[in-house]
């Protein structure tokens, strides 16, 4: 054909590190497709592992956490770090363990083992804000979630905590297959002060960043931009930018779509938009979203990262959201699609035929 | 870091041509981002152009179509092809034009110029089902749409049809910038006969493929798969798989999200699902969606491509949907984001502050 | 008829001023409120009872149906009617029972006892199209539904089928309280031929009447009126008018609200409306809704009553929907609100805290 | 009061059987239908009129307000009251007018004339919290709304402000028809202190009462009851109870249905409910809704009435919502249905065919 297509690279706007890009130069007649499955393998044997358990763990759960820490140390021969309060709770029984002192690139654990639900993963994410997070092997405590795919003692597959850990420290060794991993996109969120133009706050969010009206009656004069193109003046209770991981959490409650973890996208979901046309929008993760609070707005706005840390977005301030170059890698049990479908089944009753037939019954002759 | 991530390539399931893939081998700590803007330039001067106008064009529109064809032939020196009924309507006034005889790779036009709305682009898409479509330069007739970004005579920018065409035939020559282009994903849809296992029908859809119940009370026993993982047994009026281009059409009516044209995704939107948990799902365009009608289903289902050709999906049959390797390239006026926001403004009143204030008034003191 | 309904007045709970109730003639400064709970009592002892079971009843269910029929005849002393296929299935074991021959005012049963789910009630409703339906005492077979509140053998309350039936035939006698009853609104639907102006079809629908596009791509030029005021020209896949009873069935799937059975309303819910502003509308049951298919429409439309009988609405024809003067009375176990909440719990997991906590977990620290 | 309301009965349009109407005592086989149109007429000539204009009226609007006040005083011979700031702004030019001193039953105006949008009606409603509000004749300033049906100078009908006012003071006199009026339900909202059991706050809301989470991450342990039956434990950002009047305001933004003003109902709409099954619910206005904040909840909640006055609902407190016996009567131009459809047209583009065809174009051949 007489034409050729070229592609300009994704460019940084807020001083982010050089992104790798989809660097096909000549695509002539053929489209690129989205990322597919990643895998993880060890370049060298892991030496340090951080163990986390949910904050209000009961005795039974503490026992499992103890099993994890002990096995890692005694059988796998790695150094074990415990964060508080777990260090307080089981540290005495494990003299060799170390207290986690916060993130340092030089002393970053080689992987993280967690015992708890999706909330614990949000907590784990807060521990690696300045450095690239290590892979996470997540055991569900009682309830399996989207982010914790491993059973403690899987009666079906016969896998125990100890067996899973044995495999985790040996990934890619000998005949072992590399494990499927999800490089979970994080949102790099920056709060920019209107007066000084300086970044005064920020977060690498795993689920979502949300703007809300706090105690004022609605979001006041928030201008929304994508790559500096003006989209709309938000008239709403709030705005959510979610990752695919977060698409099944808060954004879903606000009417957003469910987004498969392999899609390179950010979901922009308004909360109670005054205009009926203002619907959830899926943006590519290569774009920069910006939210300016008008200097003459009637009220300030509020920003919340993953439902926790909450900061005020004053009149004149901006919130800038891009894809972080540093994802949170979580080890998968079966793969992106199978693990995610498992989460849909657990949380949303997908594919449970009994219920569907019941609901359908009203349409049919009894 | 001690770990490395590898990525398995997207693999063909239904004999599609080798896909280019996002072939970064080592991504260590950094995520790839979605495609960004593509551009188009000529490798050699275009020689053949197909001109299309909407079916029920009025006299004024036929005059513009005539201007387009004449200017391309007389001023730009290219061979002009006209499809029926336009050949009937204005062919006599342009002795040198040729009647479009259907798609042949060897005689494919170098680009297509259209005069009409989004519906005309859907029609243009049907003309290039077996071959990669050439780029389209689309003029809006009266109403600007998502797919037809060029004004006939733009009083704001001073651009006329003739000036736009002059630029189109010279893309990338001399000092001219290459034009931004959208490589619009198409859905490769295949109907597979249950008895023979053979592909008995198909379409490369630009907007969406829809399953519906026809005259039976609901979709009966349709099993939904992604990459051979079972998602759910659909209990619904229908199912839609839409491209980003189609996300603002039928899928939006059914509650689907708006998807920026740069997102590499397929939107899976149920119509009147019986389960309240069955919500729109965004899948990566690297996946294969499959829909099986159970051999024991109470009724057949129906498949519609872009709202037109309609075929029966009999008990035992399957519909398989993947991303087509051959996108429909449409030339953009400003770029992916700006053109798309223009469409949102035109169709959905985005960013029209007058209206928003009116609706907001009820919340405020008058 | 042998029964009468009484209505308890709305009563104040939090010291509000005495409300006028619907029977007040002069309302000067005070608003009337909606209907509250009705009750049913016998004017004379019931003599004829129709017994229905679901079409594909298994042996266990046939046994219960037999217990119902025998107890009514032997212990309660009433004449028992059975509809086919139940007459075929258990008639031989009950020599005195009679085959149901269709509705005749003169031979109408005094009440109906049913064993099955919501679908069976839709079937029961089809048996009383021309005459006012008698009260229905509905036993759930296995699954409790919105319309079948009575357990076959309630281990919690100790109530058996026999005890419930004993009470049913003695309502209001002696010290027995009259039973709460729901006078379930039916929709009187009339299809009017455009050429002759005559009513050519109709139905008294318990759940909903739905217009759909059949095999054409969308509803074509259907004009919607309320009390002869023009509301809109529908551009949609379909339109639903539902009763409060039907609000948790098809209309809910299309995005309609859940409507408490005491609300005197019709829910008008579009299916896949092309305009984002076309949202579900709740109309008073005193209004007349009319849908005209334009004589120049591109296609006919289709009408379905309670998901069953399906008729064509040709170009020029009209569908007229009003509240039927003849409701379907269903006996309640506890009352309108309590029984309905029970249905929400069973069908939609309302008030099941375990699930809610799980979903909430993602918002919280683990 | 000097006015009385009468109610026309629901009338048959398509030969249906004579309906019983709400005044019927014995309903045996026949259902009652919802209220239909009310009308207003004077029992004695009105003597005092309160005039209101929107807070930030421009000069042109102040001129119209002056015309209203002067005409009422000079031509109609009634005493005119002005509220601040209007008294400040135009009082000097009208020596005989009086400053509105707040509501007193003994000195209540006979009607209210307003110049402004829907927000002004919300303000007017706040002036009559303890006494039954008098009828309101509402002129739209610039934009017609749901609540302000009268044009200032209607070029279509030839009606001027003065002519409308002449008619307003003479309702039901001589040959004049009584005017259609909407007895707009208000919500009687009471905040009950958990410790003392006393009512510590309240409001008669015209649009809605909303519970929100303020600055806490979500509503915490709010128990929802209808007539003391437990519905659910709310896990959501907020909860709205709206009147039919308010159904097109905040509740609509949260996904609630549009409710015709004649429906006797309260709409209960969750905001971002965590459970996908928690959908908007329409309750009869005869019921009592109660919301208890658990004494052990993690956070307090907040209550807002019509988007204004905001109070804290502390742990242990309750909010109780019933229909107020005192509606806000607003005079209609044509009738409940026609005026409401006019509002839908103005606010939501209902029945604007040009737009609909545009959106539909994508489904059709151009």
Question: Which residues 6+ apart lie within 8 Å of B45 measured at CB?
Answer: A2, B169
State the Cα–Cα distance between residues B13 and B321, nearest whole angstrom: 10
Question: Which residues 6+ apart lie within 8 Å of D358 measured at CB?
Answer: B117, B143, B145, B347
Contacts of C214 in chain B (CB under 8 A): 214-215
Q: Residues D127-162: pLDDT tens digits?
A: 999 988 999 999 987 666 799 999 887 666 657 899
* Selection from B261, C270, B366, B46 nearest residue A282 by Cα: B261
| pLDDT at res. C363 | 39
Helices (H), B40-182: 59-70, 86-90, 118-126, 161-169
Under 8 Å between Cβ of D189 and D182 = no
| pLDDT at res. A215 | 85
Q: Which residues pair with D179 in a beta bridge?
A: D40
| pLDDT at res. C115 | 95
Q: What is the mean pLDDT of residues D256-280?
A: 95
Tell me whether residues C271 and B310 touch, CB distance under 8 A.
Answer: no
Q: Residues A87-146: pLDDT tens digits?
A: 999 998 988 899 998 887 677 899 999 999 899 999 999 999 988 899 999 998 766 679
pLDDT of A8 over the 60 cut: no
Residues D65-97 as b or e (16 or more Cβ within 10 Å = b)? bbbbbbbbbeebebbbbbbeebbebbbeebeeb
State the Cα–Cα distance between residues A139 and A141, nearest whole angstrom: 6
| pLDDT at res. A231 | 95
Q: Which residue of A has its CA nearest to C252?
A: A359
| pLDDT at res. D25 | 33
Query: DSSP characters for D247-292?
Result: GGTHHHHTTPPEE-TTS-EEEEEEES-SSTT---EEEETTS-EEEE
State the Cα–Cα distance between residues C300 and A149, nearest whole angstrom: 52
Measured between CA atoms, how close is B169 to chain C, in angstroms? 37
CA angle A348, B234, C115 (to 5 degrees): 85
State the Cα–Cα distance between residues D18 and B199, nearest whole angstrom: 61
Number of H helices, E strands in chain B: 7, 22
Query: Average pLDDT per run of 10 along chain C, which is 366 residues long?
Result: 53 27 36 64 87 91 95 93 92 89 82 93 94 91 79 72 90 72 93 95 96 84 93 93 97 97 94 93 94 92 92 96 91 92 87 44 38
Chains in contact with B via at least 3 Cβ–Cβ pairs below 8 Å: A, C, D
> Which value, to the nearest 10 degrees, does the dihedral of the CA atoms of residues C72, C73, C76, C77 take?
150
B182 phi, psi to nearest 5 deg = -110, 120
Contacts of A350 in chain D (CB under 8 A): none
State the Cα–Cα distance between residues A365 and B346, nearest whole angstrom: 46
Under 8 Å between Cβ of A140 and A167 = no
Q: Which residue of B has its CA nearest to C274?
A: B253
Contacts of D250 in chain A (CB under 8 A): 272
| pLDDT at res. A366 | 34
Question: Could you tell me if C355 lies within 8 Å of chain B, comparing CB atoms?
Answer: no
* Selection from B243, B297, B290 nearest residue B265 by Cα: B243
Q: Residue D188 — very low, low, confident or very high, per pLDDT cuts 50/70/90? A: very high
Q: How many CA atoms lie within 13 A of A158 on its CB side?
A: 0
> Which value, to the nearest 10 degrees, does the dihedral of the CA atoms of residues A171, A172, A176, A179 take?
60
State the Cα–Cα distance between residues B82 and B86, nearest whole angstrom: 6
Tell me whether residues A36 and B10 touch, CB distance under 8 A.
Answer: yes
Give B 156-175 residues with CB within 8 A of chain C: none
From C54, C361, C364, residue closest to A366, measured CB to CB? C54
**Helix, strand or coil for residue A147?**
coil
From C123, C249, C276, residue closest to A366, measured CB to CB? C123
Peptide bond preceding B85: is omega within 30 degrees of 0, i.e. cis?
yes
Q: Which domains does chain C have, with CATH numbers?
A: 42-184 (3.40.50.10330), 187-323 (2.60.200.30), 334-361 (no CATH)
CA angle B332, B334, B339 (to 5 degrees): 70
**Mean of pLDDT over chain A:** 83
Mutation site for C-interface testing, chosen from B56, B272, B278, B346 by largest number of C Cβ within 10 Å: B272
| pLDDT at res. B81 | 95
Question: Which residues 6+ apart lie within 8 Å of D188 measured at CB?
Answer: C16, D202, D204, D321, D322, D323, D324, D325
Peptide bond preceding B232: is omega within 30 degrees of 0, i.e. cis?
no
Contacts of C1 in chain D (CB under 8 A): 28-29
Q: How many CA atoms lie within 13 A of D201 on its CB side?
A: 18
Q: Residues A18-73: pLDDT tens digits?
A: 232 333 333 334 455 555 677 887 878 889 999 999 988 999 999 999 999 999 99
**B to C CB pairs, distance under 8 Å:** 41
Question: Could you tell me if C86 lies within 8 Å of chain A, comparing CB atoms?
Answer: no
Question: Which residues 6+ apart lie within 8 Å of B313 measured at CB?
Answer: B191, B211, B291, B293, B300, B301, B302, B303, B319
- Taking each helix axis as running N to C, give the angle between helix D161-169 and helix D59-70, from 0 to 180 degrees, rounded to the nearest 10: 30
Contacts of D362 in chain B (CB under 8 A): 117-119, 122, 145-146, 207, 248-250, 307
User: C321: which 2 tokens?
Assistant: 């929907």
Question: Which residues 6+ apart lie within 8 Å of A15 measured at CB?
Answer: none
Under 8 Å between Cβ of B233 and A351 = yes
| pLDDT at res. B40 | 81
Contacts of B146 in chain D (CB under 8 A): 362
Compute the radius of gyration of chain D from its Cα atoms: 22
State the Cα–Cα distance between residues C224 and C275, nearest whole angstrom: 15
Q: How far apart are the first and last CA of chain A?
A: 61
Under 8 Å between Cβ of C185 and D330 = no
State the Cα–Cα distance between residues A29 and B38, nearest whole angstrom: 12
Give A 29-58 residues with CB within 8 A of chain B: 29-47
User: A179: which 2 tokens?
Assistant: 């494990």
Question: Could you tell me if D145 lies within 8 Å of chain B, comparing CB atoms?
Answer: yes
Count the neighbouring beta carbons within 10 Å of the beta carbon of residue B334: 13
Q: Which residue of C has its CA nearest to D191?
A: C14
Question: Could you tell me if A271 lies within 8 Å of chain D, comparing CB atoms?
Answer: yes
B193 given a catalytic annotation: no
Contacts of D207 in chain B (CB under 8 A): 362
Residues of D taking part in catalysis = 118
Q: Residues A244-255: pLDDT tens digits?
A: 999 999 999 999
**Helix, strand or coil for residue B113?**
strand
Q: Residues B324-363: pLDDT tens digits?
A: 988 899 999 999 999 999 999 888 878 654 433 433 444 3
Q: Residues A209-251: pLDDT tens digits?
A: 999 998 887 777 899 999 999 999 998 999 999 999 999 999 9
Q: Residues B109-152: pLDDT tens digits?
A: 999 999 998 999 999 999 999 888 999 999 987 666 799 999 88
In SS3 terms, chain C reads as CCEEEEECCCCCCCCCCCCCCCCCCCCCCCCCCCCCCEEEEECCCCCEEEEEECCCCCHHHHHHHHHHHHHHHHHCCCEEEECCCHHHHHHHHCCCCEECCCCCHHHCCCEEEEECCHHHHHHHHHCCCCCCCCCEEEECCCCCCCCCCECCECCCCCCEHHHHHHHHCCCCCCCCCCEEEEEECCEEEEEECCCCCCEEEEEEECCEEEEECCCCCCCCCEEEEECCEEEEEECCCEEEEECCHHHHCHHHHCCCCEECCCCCEEEEEEECCCCCCCCCEEEECCCCEEEEECCCCCCCEEEEECCCCEEEECCCCEEEEEECCCCEEEECCCCHHHHHHHHHHHHHCCCCHHHHHHHHHCCCCC
| pLDDT at res. A36 | 64
Contacts of B9 in chain A (CB under 8 A): 36
* Selection from A52, A18, D280 nearest residue C281 by Cα: D280
**Helix, strand or coil for residue D2?**
coil
Q: Residues D74-118: pLDDT tens digits?
A: 999 999 999 988 999 999 898 889 999 888 767 789 999 999 989
**A to B CB pairs, distance under 8 Å:** 337
Question: Could you tell me if B260 lies within 8 Å of chain A, comparing CB atoms?
Answer: yes
**Helix, strand or coil for residue B27?**
coil
Q: Residue D225 — very low, low, confident or very high, per pLDDT cuts 50/70/90? A: very high
User: B284: which 2 tokens?
Assistant: 């990566």
Q: Which residue of C has its CA nearest to B312?
A: C215
Under 8 Å between Cβ of C209 and C190 = no
CA angle A187, A191, A196 (to 5 degrees): 150
| pLDDT at res. B362 | 43
Question: Could you tell me if C358 lies within 8 Å of chain A, comparing CB atoms?
Answer: yes
- Taking each helix axis as running N to C, give the angle between helix A59-70 and helix A161-168, from 0 to 180 degrees, rounded to the nearest 10: 40
Tell me whether residues B42 and A2 touch, CB distance under 8 A.
Answer: yes
Tell me whether residues D207 and B362 touch, CB distance under 8 A.
Answer: yes
pLDDT of B45 over the 80 cut: yes
pLDDT of A356 over the 60 cut: no
> Lowest mean pLDDT: which of B156-170, B205-219, B246-260?
B156-170
Q: Residues B275-328: pLDDT tens digits?
A: 999 999 999 988 999 999 999 888 999 999 999 889 999 999 999 999 998 889
Question: Could you tell me if B255 lies within 8 Å of chain D, comparing CB atoms?
Answer: no
State the Cα–Cα distance between residues A228 and A14, nearest whole angstrom: 12
Q: Given B118, B212, B317, B339, which residue is catalytic? A: B118
CA A26: distance to chain centroid?
Answer: 33
Q: Which residue of D has its CA nearest to A210?
A: D217
From A217, A276, A304, residue closest to D307, measured CB to CB? A217
**Helix, strand or coil for residue A159?**
coil
């Amino acid at each position: 054909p007489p034409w050729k297509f070229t592609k300009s690279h994704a460019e940084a706007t807020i001083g982010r590190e050089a992104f790798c890009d989809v660097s096909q130069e000549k695509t002539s007649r053929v489209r690129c497709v989205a990322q597919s499955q990643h895998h993880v393998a060890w370049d060298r044997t892991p030496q340090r592992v951080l163990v986390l358990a949910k904050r209000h763990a009961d005795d039974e759960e503490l026992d499992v956490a103890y099993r994890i820490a002990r096995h890692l140390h005694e059988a796998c021969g790695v150094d074990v770090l415990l964060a508080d309060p777990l260090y307080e709770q089981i540290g005495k029984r494990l003299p060799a363990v170390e207290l986690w002192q916060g993130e340092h690139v030089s002393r970053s654990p080689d992987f993280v083992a967690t015992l708890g639900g999706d909330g614990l993963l949000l907590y784990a994410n807060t521990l690696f804000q300045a450095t690239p997070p290590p892979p996470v092997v997540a055991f569900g405590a009682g309830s399996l979630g989207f982010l914790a795919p491993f059973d403690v003692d899987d009666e079906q597959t016969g896998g125990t905590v100890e067996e899973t850990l044995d495999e985790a420290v040996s990934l890619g060794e000998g005949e072992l297959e590399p494990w499927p991993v999800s490089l979970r996109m994080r949102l790099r969120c920056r709060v920019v002060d209107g007066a000084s133009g300086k970044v005064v706050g920020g977060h690498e969010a795993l689920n979502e960043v949300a703007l809300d009206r706090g105690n004022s009656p609605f979001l006041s004069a928030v201008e929304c931009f994508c790559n500096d193109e003006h989209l709309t003046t938000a008239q709403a209770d709030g705005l959510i930018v979610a990752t695919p991981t977060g698409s099944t959490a808060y954004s879903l409650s606000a009417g957003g779509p469910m987004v498969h973890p392999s899609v390179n996208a950010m979901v922009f979901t308004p909360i109670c938009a005054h205009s009926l046309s203002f619907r959830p929008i899926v943006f590519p993760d290569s774009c920069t979203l910006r939210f300016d609070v008008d200097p003459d707005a009637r009220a300030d706005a509020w920003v919340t990262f993953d439902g926790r840390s909450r900061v005020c977005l004053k009149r004149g301030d901006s919130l800038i959201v891009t894809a972080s170059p540093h994802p949170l890698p979580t080890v998968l049990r079966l793969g992106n699609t199978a693990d995610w479908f498992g989460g849909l089944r657990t949380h949303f009753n997908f594919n449970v035929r009994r219920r569907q037939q019941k609901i359908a019954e009203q349409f049919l002759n009894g």
